[in-house]
Amino acid sequence: MKPLEDYLIIDFSQFLSGPSASLRLADLGARVIKIEKPGTGDICRTLYTSDLIMNGESSIFHTINRNKESFAADFKNTEDLEKIKILIKKADVVMHNFRPGVMERVGLSYDDVKEINPKVVYAEISGYGNHADLVDKPGQDLLLQSLTALTWLTGNQNDGPVPMGLSIVDMLAGAHLAQGILAGLYRKTVKDTGALVQVSMLESAIDFQFETITTFFNDGGELPERTKSNNAHAYLGAPYGIYKTKDGFLALAMGSIPVLSELLKCDELLKFPENKFDQRDKIKKVLAKHLKTQTTDFWLAILEPADIWCAKVLNYQELFQEEGFKVLDFVQKVAMGDGYSYETTRCPIKIDGKIFTSKKASPKLGEHNEKITMEFIN
């Protein structure tokens, strides 16, 4: 039995942040009913991050909305709104990621929902919270990365701001919302009371940087300074970074420069007896030049037996051929109601050694209206 079986989640969220939270809860056994606008549904159905179309819709929608049911209903339709309220009355969790004010206007704010279901866990993600001077800003991942200084940690010193190549703030906010929901469900079980769980993408992006922000506050207000080359962490000294080799790339984490000098037979490193932070650009320059002289495997054969923290830098094709990936059994095949199937990742959480998978893929818009109506509404 999965730990969240018998919990019902009514999910109004769309795009990435909210659906990523309900996906994780669905993986852990919760039943997730996704409320979508008739005709168009979740905007993510047509939000393409590549040219890949899967069964007529965006690949990203299929990825993040598997293991859910779809109920098409229009807030503005009185009859549909009453159906939604019946579902809410039977829910353990109600969640959304609309801008502040939207759920209030349709009569489904926390206070409204609490009147229908007093013990509900009501969870919401916003871009910036309810602050009057921020509330109207669009809660979009790239904008949040930019507004929270996250883009000054990636890339090299002269690159300018560099965003991460993932919708990382969406995913972080979704993870935080899932954590808050789980805490709310625990309190509901123990104290027999509901909860209002609120997460903003702004706060999630700032929290993500707790380590570097704490350093900034306690380091005289000095801005993080990326190295001129091979940067991987603005606050760590050499050799921390990724280096070109004769046939690929090598990642080096923390390590003693004198030890590396001996292992790599790099005499030029001997002039750096200590790993001083202000010498890291010079050290990296020497390392970068030296590591290009041999293949990645050549260096790994020297460094790994000496317990130096290092790794080959893999792309997807290489990663999925690695035995270390295959033993994880991390790929699952899921199927939609019409028989269309695709491969995707599974839940990364194990409990009591058990891996959580589900064969149920993403739903077609309104696919479960009849089933849900018969079970809950009629």
pLDDT at res. 311: 97
Question: Is beta strand 350-351 parallel, antiparallel or unpaired with respect to 241-244?
Answer: unpaired
Residues 247, 58: Cα–Cα separation, whole Å: 36
pLDDT at res. 277: 82
Residues 171, 204: Cα–Cα separation, whole Å: 9
Q: 257-264 and 280-291 helices cross at what angle (nearest 10)?
A: 20
Name residue 343's amino acid.
Answer: E
Max Cα–Cα distance, the chain, nearest Å: 80
Distances (CA, A) of 236 to 81, 165, 211, 257, 349: 54, 21, 12, 13, 30
pLDDT at res. 183: 98
pLDDT at res. 132: 80
Strand-pair partners of 343: 333
pLDDT at res. 180: 98
pLDDT at res. 342: 97
Question: Residue 98 corresponds to which tokens in the numbers above?
Answer: 């609309």
233, 158 Cβ separation under 8 angstroms: no
Residues 152, 171: Cα–Cα separation, whole Å: 19
Question: Is beta strand 69-72 parallel, antiparallel or unpaired with respect to 8-11?
Answer: unpaired
Intervals of the chain under pLDDT 50: none
Residues 84, 229: Cα–Cα separation, whole Å: 55
Print the SS3 string covering the chain: CCCCCCCEEEECCCCCHHHHHHHHHHHCCCEEEEEECCCCCCHHHHCCCCCCEECCEEHHHHHHCCCCEEEECCCCCHHHHHHHHHHHHCCCEEEECCCCCHHHHCCCCHHHHHHHCCCCEEEEEECCCCCCCCCCCCCCHHHHHHHCCHHHCCCCCCCCCCCCCCCHHHHHHHHHHHHHHHHHHHHHHHHCCCEEEEEEHHHHHHHHCHHHHHHHHCCCCCCCCCCCCCCCCCCCCCCCEEEECCCCEEEECCCCHHHHHHHHCCHHHHHCCCCCHHHHHHHHHHHHHHHCCCCHHHHHHHHCCCCCCEEECCCHHHHCCCHHHHCCCCEEEEECCCCCEEEEECCCCEECCEECCCCECCCCCCCCHHHHHHHHHC
pLDDT at res. 51: 81
pLDDT at res. 268: 94
Question: Is beta strand 249-252 parallel, antiparallel or unpaired with respect to 241-244?
Answer: antiparallel
Can you give the pTM of this predicted structure?
Answer: 0.94
Distances (CA, A) of 174 to 91, 96, 121, 125: 20, 11, 16, 8
pLDDT at res. 177: 98
pLDDT at res. 315: 96
Phi, psi of 201 (to 5 degrees): -60, -35
Cis ω for the linkage preceding 239 (within 30 of 0): yes
